[in-house]
Amino acid sequence: MIALLAAATAIPAGAAPAPFSLEISQLTSGEKHHFFGYIGQCRTIPWNESGRYVLGLEIDAIDRMPKPGEAALIVLIDTRQNNQIIPIEKTRAWNPQQGTMFYWNPLAAGTQFFFNDRDEETGKIFTVLYDIGKRERIREYRFDDTPVANGGVAQKGGAFLALNYGRMARLRPVTGYPGVADWSQAGDPAPANDGIFVVDTRTGARRLLVSFRQLADKLKEADSRTPDLPLFINHSLWNRDGNRVYFFARGGWNRRGSRINVPFSIHSDGTNLTCHSQHIGGHPEWAEGSLVIGRSGPDQILYDIDTRKVAGKLGTPKIFPNPEGDVSLSSDGKWFVNGYKTGTSNHYVVYRRSDGASVRSEGFDKGRYSGDIRIDPAPRWNRTNDAILVPGLADNGTRQMFVIRIRSNE
């Protein structure tokens, strides 16, 4: 790594030493901006299987959303070659907050990863499967009549959830890509032919998992006063076993007044569509089985989507001052990180589930960027469960990638 920058927050006088500490290093540098994108929910891991390469995007400007069709470079950071930045591809489907929905293919995580792209001529969105050994796109998942792209890869591989990013760009720009073709019916708030799709990565076959019309009907069943707002999907999250999906049905983000923000779950075969009355914050994460990690009041909780009840807690409000922050569970399920904002800094609480030990990081400068170009905490674990990739501003004002590494004191 480039340089050791900081340690964890100091231990108060008289307190027992923490069983582990945090070592912070800057991974990327230069005059260009480098970032990964989305939160590390559902094992969204930036490192490939060997741990040698970290995925990232390289862009020229972070003070605006991209122009329609403006490309970002896809790069590999080679951690065995002094963090050399290697350009390998381009994407025209990205934004500063979510990136391009990178995900290493669970069936070939050493060399293959998914990203989203946009056809230059038609503006239609699609997903790419890329192989770094061959240095080429080995498959593109295109659906010309109703173009959709990756919104969440099955953690064991074999499929991804697909969304209409044109509709998202229209209804909540920060979640979409400027200039992407919107095939959804603008006059219909809940079309029956759009929603969440499942794409088989082996065959390329696609099926509609749940439609906006189904969601609207469920919302009306739960509360007849629900306004007829155009619906969109955020946070389509596949659980660790691959048999359940949790997501938010939302509406009204581009207008003043009433909003819809309701959590749903569904089995991955399309059964058991459930509208949940318990809201657990804006950035939930899957734990084991049917458990989702989120927020209830001041607490970081475990919520069971099958029983629809709070099943436990993580830590205390003192440990997690903002349980609705960006959260991520390590691949082995033993470590949890909560990233949250204070002023112009992002902070991280690293928590060990076995004994409740925790350490809070120093702040990472995120500047005054806000709204669609904000720099969210977005922590992402590595595959050996001892390091987290996070964003921040370097000394020269560029957005760069940093690593928080866990060091045992035991």
Residue at which a domain ends, from 277, 310, 333: 277
| Residue 20 shares a structural domain with residue 94 | no
| Residue 269 shares a structural domain with residue 333 | no
| Residue 136 shares a structural domain with residue 238 | yes
Average pLDDT of each block of 10 consecutive residues along the chain (410 residues)?
A: 45 62 97 94 97 98 92 98 98 94 98 97 96 98 96 97 95 90 85 97 97 97 90 95 96 85 97 96 93 96 96 96 96 97 96 97 94 94 98 97 94
| Residue 193 shares a structural domain with residue 100 | yes
Q: How far is Cα 266 from Cα 246, in angstroms, rounded to an integer?
A: 7
Give a yes or no: residue 235 inside a domain: yes
| Residue 15 shares a structural domain with residue 101 | no
Residue at which a domain ends, from 212, 247, 277: 277
How many other CB atoms are there within 10 angstroms of residue 406's CB atom?
Answer: 20
Give a yes or no: residue 70 inside a domain: yes
Q: How far is Cα 337 from Cα 322, in angstroms, rounded to an integer?
A: 12
| Residue 53 shares a structural domain with residue 178 | yes
**What's residue 6's pLDDT?**
47
Give a yes or no: residue 130 inside a domain: yes
Give a yes or no: residue 283 inside a domain: no
Q: Which residues of 186-225 are buried (b: 16+ CB within 10 A; e: fewer)?
A: eebbbbeebbbbbbebeeeebebbbbbbbbbebbeeeeee
Q: Please name the helix (run of DSSP H) or strand (run of DSSP E) that holds residue 212, with its range, or none.
A: helix 212-222
**What's residue 72's pLDDT?**
98
CA–CA distances in Å: residue 63 to residues 33, 54, 134, 292, 314: 11, 24, 34, 34, 36
Domain count, the chain: 2
| Residue 338 shares a structural domain with residue 205 | no
Q: Please name the helix (run of DSSP H) or strand (run of DSSP E) that holds residue 167, with its range, or none.
A: helix 165-171
Domain hosting 22: range is 1-30+325-410
Domain of residue 252, CATH code: 2.120.10
**What's residue 256's pLDDT?**
77
**What's residue 267's pLDDT?**
97
Burial degree of 356 (CB within 10 A; 0-12, 13-18, 19+): exposed
DSSP state of 256: S
| Residue 229 shares a structural domain with residue 128 | yes
SS (H, E, C) 175-206: HCCCCCCCCCCCCCCCCCCCEEEEEECCCCCE
Q: How far is Cα 60 from Cα 73, in angstroms, rounded to an integer?
A: 10
| Residue 200 shares a structural domain with residue 335 | no
Q: How far is Cα 172 from Cα 229, in angstroms, rounded to an integer?
A: 13
| Residue 7 shares a structural domain with residue 145 | no
Residue 371, classed as helix, strand or coil, is helix
Give a yes or no: residue 356 inside a domain: yes
| Residue 187 shares a structural domain with residue 104 | yes
Give a yes or no: residue 17 inside a domain: yes
Residue at which a domain ends, from 252, 277, 302: 277
pTM score, two decimals?
Answer: 0.94
**What's residue 4's pLDDT?**
43
| Residue 88 shares a structural domain with residue 158 | yes
CB 222 within 8 A of CB 275: yes
Give a yes or no: residue 298 inside a domain: no
Q: How far is Cα 115 from Cα 108, in angstroms, rounded to an integer?
A: 15
**What's residue 212's pLDDT?**
97
Structure tokens at 239: 């659980």
**What's residue 16's pLDDT?**
59
Give a yes or no: residue 85 inside a domain: yes
